[in-house]
Structure 1
C-alpha cells in the first residue's frame, strides 16, 4: 500500500480487536542503521508490543525487529526498548489522559513516510469479552448482507 509517500510495513491487526481506539498519534522511532534496514525488508512484528511513558519520555516495549543478516556485530537486541519521538505537548496530553481515564498506548502500524520510519500510536481502552463478541457478530452480519446483495 503506497499513497502520499507512505508505505505501510507492519500492522497490529489484533489491536483493533482488543481495544477501542480513541485517538492516534504519529511518532518517530529512535533506531540504529541495521534496524532500519530490517524494517525496510519487512522484518518487524508488533503483535505483543505496547508503549509506556517514563520520566516524560515515551518508550515502546516488545516490538520485535529481526536482526539484519548482513549486520553482524552492529545488530542490536531484537526486543530492546525503543524511544518514541513525540512533541512535549503531546506527551503531556498523553500523561494526563492515562492518569485520569486509564487509557493504554498501543502501536497500530509501522510505516515509511518520505523515507523516515514512523509508528502510529493509539490511545486505547481495553474491550471486554462481550464487546468483542458484538464486533464479531456485526462484521458477520455485514458480510452476509454483502453476499446476499451480490447474488
Structure 2
C-alpha cells in the first residue's frame, strides 16, 4: 500500500486521532466522480465512516463536480458506499459500538485502476496528547538538524 501515491490524504487524522488499525476498502463511484478524482479534486475534511444496516458508508467526503459533466454531476457531499467483506464490517461495527472508537478515512489512492480508501479505526486524542505529539515532532526535527 505504501508504494501507491495517495490522491488525497487526511493529514489531520494522525494529529487528531490515535490510529489503532487500518483497513483497505473499495469505494462505489459514478462516472463523473471518477473523472474528478483523476484530476485530484476531492477533500476529506470533516468526513467520517459509519456502519449502517450492515454496510460501510463514508459521509461528507467532498468530490468536486466534473466541469464537463453538466447534468450527470451528483451532489458533491453525498454518502458513498465503501466495499469491504461482511466479516470486516461486522468486526469494525463491534469495535465502534463497544469501545467507543471512530472510523475515519485516512487516504484515497489508485490500485490497479480502482479507487481505494484506507479507513482507520481511531480513538480521539485529548488536548495534552496533541501537545505531546507536537513536542515529539519538534524534538525529532531538532535532533535531525543537530541543534541541541
TM-score interval, normalised by the smaller of the two chains? over 0.9
**Across the two proteins, how many residue pairs are aligned to each other?**
147
Q: 2 CA distance for matches of 1:51 and 1:66?
A: 19
Matched with 1:137 is 135
Please say if residues 7 and 113 of structure 1, whose CA atoms lie closer than 8 Å, have aligned partners that are also in contact.
no
- C-alpha root-mean-square deviation of aligned residues, in Å? 1.4
Q: Indicate whether 1:22 and 2:3 are aligned.
A: no
Matched with 2:125 is 127
Moved over 4 A (4+): none
Q: 1 CA distance for matches of 2:5 and 2:106?
A: 14
Normalised TM-score (structure 1): 0.94
Unmatched 5+ residue regions in structure 1? none
Matched with 1:79 is 77
Please say if residues 35 and 67 of structure 1, whose CA atoms lie closer than 8 Å, have aligned partners that are also in contact.
yes
Question: Using a 3 Å threshold, how does the CA distance of structure 1 residues 136 and 91 change in structure 2: closer, same or farther?
Answer: same
SS at match of 1:70: coil
Deviation at 1:62, TM superposition (A): 0.7
Normalised TM-score (structure 2): 0.96
Please say if residues 8 and 110 of structure 1, whose CA atoms lie closer than 8 Å, have aligned partners that are also in contact.
yes
Q: Indicate whether 1:7 and 2:5 are aligned.
A: yes
SS at match of 2:5: strand
